[in-house]
């Protein structure tokens, strides 16, 4: 491994003309990470997967020998930082390690990563416009890349010269471009004009129009209604709808009458009991006439509320205080500081609802929480002290900007940092 790294260094020294801006390296790293499914199309890196594969590639001994050790617990280590936007420089050895990890050698890295990330392959791509001659032909040259908000996969928006625009995602096993689109954004003017000609001028039927335009009958009906076209099949559908609406009105009236009759037969039955007696009738009213059903059903019979006076709140307060104290100690002992809040303590103890609504009945617990729950300022001070201790343990120089970065503080906290530091 060291010999291979030396060969990479020799190649770099022999080719000084390959120097690139810092952001170029970041972009190439991201392209290769996305191609290996370590990063998403939105450039979100799976740090656990990157750490595991990188460590498997080199091992801790080589990384330690090159002063480039990494730790999964340290979110600011150089491996995670080098795949973020480059706001600082990194040692050339670490760039070489990253290049060899991604491509096998530095030479292959510079020769193979000049092109952009292409999850859908190279153009042209297929057009699905059934109104043009190049239907199902690879003629599309334009694609815009983004990422799907649902599954974070690459999302391509393809635009054809005929006006059709569609989008689709790429699957892990996809290697070619013959798949149907996930969504048709627009069919284009040529498709709309042919639809109007087939419907109004040639007077074709619904299924015939769908076959001509290579889409479903539901799509044809949607666009006919959208553009207000006079289709031959609409008059038949309208007549059928009138007859169907009259039949539905009669059925609704009969269902209402049957429901009222059922209540007369069982005057003491509740709504749930009536539902169990005639589930089919209840289902028809629930799906098609729910407001009437709710207004013409027996009222909900609330059970009598009994006051439970057997709770020993004093003993419960003592037991809960012990659990709360343990949860607070667990929070304070976490490696990375976590704020002590009533909500977090409640979640850790499983008593969140009780602490939020019945805390006044637990005076011991309430007093303890008032003394230990941290405000924002208190938590900031504790993070600053933790960051100072962390830097001292690492043998690094303690600086205000380092403290703010490690503690995750904003610029408006600089005075607070300086007060504690000096």
pLDDT at position 311: 78
What are the DSSP calls for 32-74, one per residue?
A: HHHHTTSB-TT--B-HHHHHHHHHHHH-HHHHHHTT----SS-
pLDDT tens for 83-117 read 887 777 889 999 999 989 988 888 888 887 555 66
Q: Helices 363-372 and 313-332 sit at what angle, rounded to 10 degrees?
A: 20
pLDDT at position 304: 56
> CA-CA-CA-CA torsion for 394, 399, 404, 410, nearest 10 degrees?
-170
Alpha-carbon span 87 to 49, nearest angstrom: 23
Closest CA to 220 of 235, 239, 202, 205: 205
Query: Is residue 76 a contact partner of residue 405, using CB atoms and an 8 Å limit?
Result: yes
Alpha-carbon span 69 to 80, nearest angstrom: 12
Give pLDDT < 70 ranges for the chain.
113-118, 147-152, 171-179, 234-245, 301-309
pLDDT at position 152: 62
pLDDT at position 235: 58
pLDDT at position 43: 77
Per-domain residue ranges for the chain? 2-112, 125-227, 235-295, 313-374, 378-421
């Amino acid at each position: 491994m060291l010999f291979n790294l030396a060969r990479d260094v020799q190649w770099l020294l022999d080719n000084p003309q390959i120097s690139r801006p810092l952001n170029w390296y970041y972009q190439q790293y991201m392209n290769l990470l996305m191609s290996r499914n370590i990063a998403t199309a939105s450039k979100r890196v799976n740090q656990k997967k990157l750490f595991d594969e990188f460590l498997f590639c080199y091992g801790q001994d080589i990384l330690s020998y090159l002063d480039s050790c990494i730790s999964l617990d340290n979110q600011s280590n150089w491996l995670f930082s080098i795949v973020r936007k480059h706001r600082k420089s990194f040692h050339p050895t670490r760039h070489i390690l990253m290049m060899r990890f991604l491509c096998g050698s530095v030479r292959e890295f510079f020769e193979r990563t000049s092109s952009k990330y292409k999850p859908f392959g190279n153009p042209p791509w297929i057009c699905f416009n059934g109104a043009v001659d190049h239907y199902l032909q690879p003629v599309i040259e334009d694609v815009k890349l983004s990422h799907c908000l649902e599954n974070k996969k690459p999302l391509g928006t393809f635009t054809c010269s005929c006006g059709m625009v569609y989008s689709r995602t790429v699957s892990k096993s996809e290697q070619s471009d013959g798949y149907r689109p996930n969504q048709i954004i627009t069919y284009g003017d040529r498709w709309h004009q042919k639809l109007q000609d087939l419907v109004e001028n040639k007077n074709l039927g619904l299924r015939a129009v769908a076959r001509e335009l290579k889409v479903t009958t539901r799509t044809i009906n949607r666009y006919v209604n959208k553009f207000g076209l006079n289709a031959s099949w609409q008059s038949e559908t309208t007549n059928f709808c009138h007859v169907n609406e009259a039949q539905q009105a009669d059925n609704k009236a009969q269902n209402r009458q049957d429901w009222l009759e059922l209540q007369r037969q069982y005057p003491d039955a509740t709504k749930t009991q009536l539902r169990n007696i005639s589930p089919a009738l209840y289902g028809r009213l629930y799906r098609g006439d729910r407001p009437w059903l709710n207004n013409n059903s027996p009222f909900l019979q609330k059970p009598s509320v009994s006051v439970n006076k057997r709770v020993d709140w004093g003993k419960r307060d003592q037991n809960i205080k012990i659990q709360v104290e343990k949860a607070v100690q667990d929070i304070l002992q976490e490696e990375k500081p976590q704020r002590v809040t009533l909500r977090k303590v409640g979640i850790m103890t499983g008593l969140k609802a009780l602490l939020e609504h019945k805390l006044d009945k637990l005076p011991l617990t309430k007093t303890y929480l008032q003394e230990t729950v941290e405000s924002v300022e208190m938590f900031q001070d504790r993070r600053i002290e933790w960051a100072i201790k962390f830097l001292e343990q690492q043998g690094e120089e303690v600086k205000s900007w380092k403290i703010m970065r490690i503690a995750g503080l904003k610029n408006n906290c600089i005075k607070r940092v300086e007060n504690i530091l000096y």
